[in-house]
Amino acid sequence: MAGSIRTALVVVDLQPDFMPGGALAVDEGDQIVAPIRDVVMSGRFDVIVATQDWHPRGHISFASHHAGRRPFDAIDLYGHEQVLWPDHCVQGTSGAALHPEFPRDWADAIIRKGSDPAVDSYSALRNNWNQFGDRPPTGLAGYLRERGVTNLLVCGLARDYCVKWTAEDAADAGFKVRFLWDLTRPVDPSSDDAVRRDLLAKGVNIDG
């Protein structure tokens, strides 16, 4: 029906490497798993998408790829700041799998990001900047438009990186976006005020 509202839920990077004990643990990341599973199983959504960090070994965002650098150092990469991370979500490893507490085939689509060894990818909709100064699309925006989606709800890990960038890019792409704040956790809790300001500036609605 023309003008109808169709809603998608985007669950960002619920992977063991981002849980306590994982390679890039987000504090309390495990505490949002059960509530997000309940939202997934609620039957409220026309489309459910999961994203999955999916890095090759030796990825350019890994501190181990840069001699003399440590995790959480920042470098200039293609004219933009790049945080260097511990090796995480390496393709095919258990830490890169989607969280095992979710039922099989719970997502209508899985977007794997960060698979280009020379480019990082926080957002589910667009990669980070490449050597040509571009942020190539992942294909998610087109997938959602083909299914008539107008509204997005986003949640997952981590609040101040992949969830934030996903919400901002979705708003820029013309979707009406709600950010489920309580169903996210940050790498850096001191960033929360700045994250809220940035999201509101993009027109993202914040729940929580």
- Residue showing tokens 């999961």: 50
Instruction: Strands of 23-121 (E only): list them.
Output: 47-53, 74-77, 80-83, 109-113
Point out the catalytic residue in the list 17, 53, 87, 113. Answer: 113
Structure tokens at 134: 């571009």
Instruction: Strands of 78-160 (E only): list them.
Output: 80-83, 109-113, 151-157
Whether 89 sits among the annotated catalytic residues: the reply is no
> 189: closest CA among 21, 26, 19?
26
Whether 155 sits among the annotated catalytic residues: the reply is no
C-beta of residue 72 within 8 angstroms of C-beta of residue 83: yes
Whether 164 sits among the annotated catalytic residues: the reply is no
How many Cα atoms sit within 13 Å of 127 on the Cβ side?
24
Q: How many Å apart are CA 105 and CA 171, to the nearest integer?
A: 27
Point out the catalytic residue in the list 17, 30, 53, 162. Answer: 162
Point out the catalytic residue in the list 13, 53, 120, 169. Answer: 13
Q: How many Å apart are CA 122 and CA 83, to the nearest integer?
A: 11
CA angle 34, 12, 30 (to 5 degrees): 35
Residues that are catalytic: 13, 113, 162
